Amino acid sequence: MTTNWVSASQARTDEEVSAPPAYLGQRATLLDLIDRVLDKGVVLSAQLMLSVADVDLVYIDLRAFIASVESARRTGTRSEPIAEVRA
């Protein structure tokens, strides 16, 4: 089993391709951030859902890409920096 415990008191030691922004310290992966910012949180109106629908598509593409990068990083098959990712 490989278990990553990335809590406030347990700093992550492995270098991540999907490096989290500096203010997050060692507590998160970019994949988890994207899961939250694009897929969670309050949605205020049905009207907004129209624009958010585009966000849904971006979310699916972006998440799939970053998940593949993280997965490949674990298996040592890919090393592109996440900075190249743009939706």
Q: What residue ranges bind other proteins (CB under 8 A)?
A: 1-10, 21, 23-24, 27-45, 47-48, 51-52, 54-55, 58, 62, 71, 74, 82, 85-87
CB of 67 vs other proteins, minimal distance in Å: 9
DSSP 18: S
Question: Closest CB to other proteins among 41 and 76?
Answer: 41
Question: Closest CB to other proteins among 40 and 76?
Answer: 40
Contact 18, 83 (CB under 8 A): no
Cα 86 from Cα 46, distance rounded (Å): 27
Rg (CA), the chain: 15
